[in-house]
Amino acid sequence: MPIKTTKKVTNKKVVKEETKPAVEAKKEEVKPAEVKKAPAKKATTKKAAKPAVEAKKEEVKPAETKKAPAKKATTKKAAKPAVEAKKEEVKPAETKKAPAKKATKSAAKVKKEEVKPAETKKATAKKTTKKATTKTTTTKKVTIKKMTKEEQYAKLSLDTCLDLAKAMSMNVTRDSIIQQLILNPDVKSVSKDLVNKYQLTGKFNFEEDGYDEDLVEVLVSKVYETADIKPQKAEDLQADVDHALNYKFTDVVADGEEYKAQFDTMRKVLMIAQHKDIHDSKNLDEEIGIDVEKFVEEFMDLAYSVLKTWKYEDVDYYEHFIYAVLSQLEDLHDTYRNRIMMDVADLYILHGDYGLGDADYGYILRENQIKDYIYYRYASIYEGVDKDKAKQIANQALQFVDDRFTYYPNIIAVLEG
C-alpha cells in the first residue's frame, strides 16, 4: 500500500515547515467535510486565504482536479503540483505569499469591476446633461432666427441705430435728422430722401451685414418719437408771435437768441399748416389767430441780420427752412420769392461762396424783366467784398437800366464809388 505511506509523509513535512500557519492544516485533519464545503461557497475569494487546503484537495481528490479546468485559476495550480511541493520545502514563506498577491490582484480586479459600472453611469449622466444643454442652446438660437427683421429693428436703441447708420457711411446725427423733420415732418419721405442721398438701395444685406436700407426709416421714426417736432396748440403760439412782432434789434448776442426763439416759433407755425394741410396764409391766420405774413417778414429780416456773422452751415439750413415755409404758404411764396433768393445769395457771398451767390443772382436776373433793384442789390453786396467786381456788376446793369428806373441813381453811385 505505497499510496497511504506517501500521504503520511507529505502531511508530516507540511506540519514541520509551516509551524504556525498549520492551524488551517489541523482543521483539515479534524474536519475534512468542512474542507470539501469551503471551495463550493467561495472558491474565488478564498484562494489566497487557504492555499494549503487547495494543495491537499489536489492530492486527495484528483477527481476534483478534473473539474477545475473550467476555471483558469484552478488549472494553473493543478498543472504544477510537484513544483509547488518543492517550493514548500525550500521557501515555504514565498509560496504562501505568491498566491496572496494573486488573490489581492484578483480582489482588486473585482473591486474595479464593481466601481467601473458606477463610474460609467455617472459619465453617462454627465454626457446626457451636456446633450440636454446643447439642445436647450439650439432651441434659443432657433427662437432668435424666427424673429423678423422688423422685430429686431424695433428692439434697437436710438444710439445703436445711429451707430449702424455710420456703419452704412451715413453722415447723420440726431440733430440733423430733427432739422430735416422740421422741414418735412413725414417720416417716410425723410427716410426716402436719406436712402437716395447716400445711395443705400441694395447696397447692404440684412442677413449678411445685420442691417440694410430699411434701418433708415427705423432711425428716423425713433428720432421723431423722441424729439419735440410735433405741432402745438394755436393758443400756445400767439404770445410768442406777439413778442416776435414787437422785438427791436439790439446787439449781436441778443439778436442771435431772438433768432433761435423765432425760428422755433416759425417751425411750429409751419407744422400746424402742414398738419392741417393749409396753403394760404390768410386761412392759417384764422386757424391760429395771428398775422402770419407779418411774422414771416419779421423773421426774414432778423435772419438776414443775424446770419451775416454766423456760420455757412447756418445759412444753408436757413435757406431750406424758409423755402419750406414759402412752399407751404403759396401766396407768400409769390410775394417773397425774389426777396428771399437775394437774401440767401447775399449771405453766401458774404461767407465766401461767390459761385453759388452769383448763380442765384444770375437766375433772378434772367427770370425778371425789371432788373434795376436786382442789379443794385447784386452790386452793393460786393462793395464790402470786392469793389472792382461791384463796379463791374454796376456797369453791366447799364445795359438794362437807365434814368427811368427807380434804382438807377444807386447803380451810378456804385460805379462812382
Quote the percentage of the chain above a pLDDT of 90.
Answer: 49
Does the pLDDT at position 176 exceed 50? yes
Integer Cα distance of 286 and 273 in angstroms: 11
Does the pLDDT at position 415 exceed 80? yes
pLDDT at 228: 72
Does the pLDDT at position 101 exceed 70? no
Does the pLDDT at position 153 exceed 70? yes
Integer Cα distance of 321 and 262 in angstroms: 13
202 or 32, which is more confident:
202
Cell numbers given for 285: 391766420
Does the pLDDT at position 191 exceed 70? yes
> Three-state SS for 307?
coil
Instruction: Determine the average pLDDT of the residues in 284-288.
Output: 89
Quote the percentage of the chain above a pLDDT of 70.
Answer: 63
Mean pLDDT of the residues in the chain: 74
Does the pLDDT at position 265 exceed 60? yes
Q: Which fold has domain 234-368?
A: 1.25.40
Does the pLDDT at position 27 exceed 50? no
pTM of the entire structure?
0.55
Exposed e or buried b per residue across 56-84, where buried means at least 16 C-beta atoms within 10 angstroms of its C-beta:
bbbeeeeeebeebeeeeebeebbeeeeeb
Helix/strand/coil percentages in the chain, nearest 5: 80, 0, 20
Exposed e or buried b per residue across 339-374, where buried means at least 16 C-beta atoms within 10 angstroms of its C-beta:
ebbbbbbbbbbbbebeebbbebbeebeeeeeebbbb
pLDDT at 64: 41
Closest by CA position to 177, among listed 317, 275, 315, 296: 317
Instruction: Determine the average pLDDT of the residues in 91-115.
Output: 42
70 or 220, which is more confident:
220
User: Would you place residue 234 in the very low, low, confident or very high pLDDT band (cuts 50, 70, 90)?
Assistant: low
82 or 289, which is more confident:
289
Integer Cα distance of 349 and 357 in angstroms: 5
pLDDT at 275: 80
Integer Cα distance of 98 and 85 in angstroms: 14
Residues 6+ apart with CB under 8 A from 156: 164, 218
Q: Where are the alpha helices (DSSP H) in 246-367?
A: 252-275, 281-288, 292-306, 312-328, 330-350, 354-367
- The amino acid that residue 348 corresponds to is Y
Q: Which region among 22-36, 141-155, 399-413 has the lowest average model confidence (pLDDT)?
A: 22-36
Does the pLDDT at position 93 exceed 50? no
Integer Cα distance of 169 and 166 in angstroms: 5
pLDDT at 73: 39
Cα-based torsion angle of the residue sequence 377, 378, 383, 389 in order, rounded to the nearest 10 degrees: -160
Cα-based torsion angle of the residue sequence 309, 310, 312, 313 in order, rounded to the nearest 10 degrees: -170
pLDDT at 357: 96
pLDDT at 146: 60
Does the pLDDT at position 43 exceed 80? no
